[in-house]
Chains A and B, each alone.
Chain A
Amino acid sequence: MPPITPEELLAKYSDMAYALALRLTGNATEAEDLAEEALIKAVRGLDGFRGDCETGVWLYRIVMNCWKSQLRSPRLFFWKKMKGFVEGEAGELIDPADPAPGPAQQIEANSRREAFEKALSSLEPADRAIVVLRELDGRSYSDIADVLSIPEGTVRSRLSRARGRLRTILRGLMEEK
């Protein structure tokens, strides 16, 4: 029997699945699609999940896999290019007009929040995922390594580097104001 019901899974993890999807895609519409796809897969796959790992780790892995398959989808790539997306350092497509508009569109504009959004959007998608899993979900380095299929030492160094970058950018943004 699965360790969690679909309703419990959705109540507990929808926000984080969406947060992770948002930071990976950098776009609210795509994040919603990605989170929905991953959550549907998770709910359908619950019968086969025996709790071999922590439920959150299992679900976030599904989010990562869905995101990776979307990145590999030639159809999506084509349409994004048509819509004016540009290729990022890691080969991902970034919406130049809207680097991280999701939360800013939903919540009243707030300069501090905007600064954090801007700083986070400057990171690579995988580094954003690491920051979000650590800061918003309090995941251990070992859990994050499992989710992203990378060594624990890499999580440690990438998180440290990402934090350094966030601090530099935030400092710059605060000084501008």
Chain B
Amino acid sequence: MTHEEIKSALSAYFDGQLGPEQAVEIATHAASCAECRAELDELKALSEGTKENLRVRAPAGLADRVLARAGAGKERRSLLSELVIIAVATTAIAFLVGVVTKKYMPTMFQSIQGMINGAASTLGVSSGNK
């Protein structure tokens, strides 16, 4: 690598992100190149300065708010899914009871149907079971 190529790879070398061959080449070059050594020193100072001056902490209470809001969302979703399951189960049971009643207790089925039709005509709507 030329001096300029090495200079442009110093940042990755400093981070230990180069392959072993390139790293050895740069280390050998830097040992005899004052400019590259100075550049590496600057990279080190910049890195330390960044760590020292730019580290921040999350605002107080952020984690608690996240847990509370994430939990509330999950509870809402699980409550909704429970309601859907209950509604589906109730409909399925009513349907099965209807089928069983119609097959094994036709008289009772007819009288229930008559009651429903009567109630529907009182309310002025069609029961759909004529």
Query: Lowest 7 CB-CB distances: which A-B pairs, in order?
Result: A160-B11, A18-B58, A43-B70, A10-B63, A116-B53, A14-B58, A135-B50
| Interface of chain A: mostly helix, strand, loop or mixed | helix
Interface string of B92-117 (1 = CB under 8 A from A): 00000000000000000000000000
A135/B59 in contact, CB under 8 A: no
A102→B9 CA distance, assembly (Å): 33
CB distance from A44 to the nearest CB of B (A): 5
In the complex, the answer to whether A39 meets B56 with C-beta atoms within 8 Å is no
For the A-B complex, the count of residue pairs with Cβ-Cβ distances under 8 Å equals: 100
Q: Are B62 and A36 in contact (CB under 8 A)?
A: yes
Count how many chain A residues have C-beta atoms less than 8 Å from C-beta atoms of the other chain.
41
Tell me the B1-57 residues at the A interface (CB within 8 Å).
Answer: 8-12, 15, 17, 42-43, 46-47, 49-51, 53-57
Pairwise interchain contact B70-A40, C-beta atoms closer than 8 A = yes
> Is A135 a contact partner of B70 (Cβ separation < 8 A)?
no
Interfacial chain A residues near B57, Cβ < 8 Å: 15, 18
Give A residues with C-beta under 8 Å from B: 6-7, 10-11, 14-15, 17-19, 22, 32, 35-36, 39-40, 43-44, 102-103, 106, 110, 112-113, 115-117, 120, 131-132, 134-136, 140-141, 156, 159-160, 163, 166-167, 170
How many residues of chain B get a CB closer than 8 Å to chain A's CBs? Answer: 30
CB < 8 Å neighbour of B70 from A22, A44, A166, A170: A44
Cβ B62 vs Cβ A116 within 8 A? no
Bound together, the chains give a CA A156 to CA B73 distance in angstroms of 40
Residues of A within 8 A of B74 (CB): 44
Q: Do A134 and B62 touch (CB < 8 A)? A: no
CA A2 to CA B15, docked complex, whole Å: 31
Contacting pair A11 B63 (CB below 8 A): yes
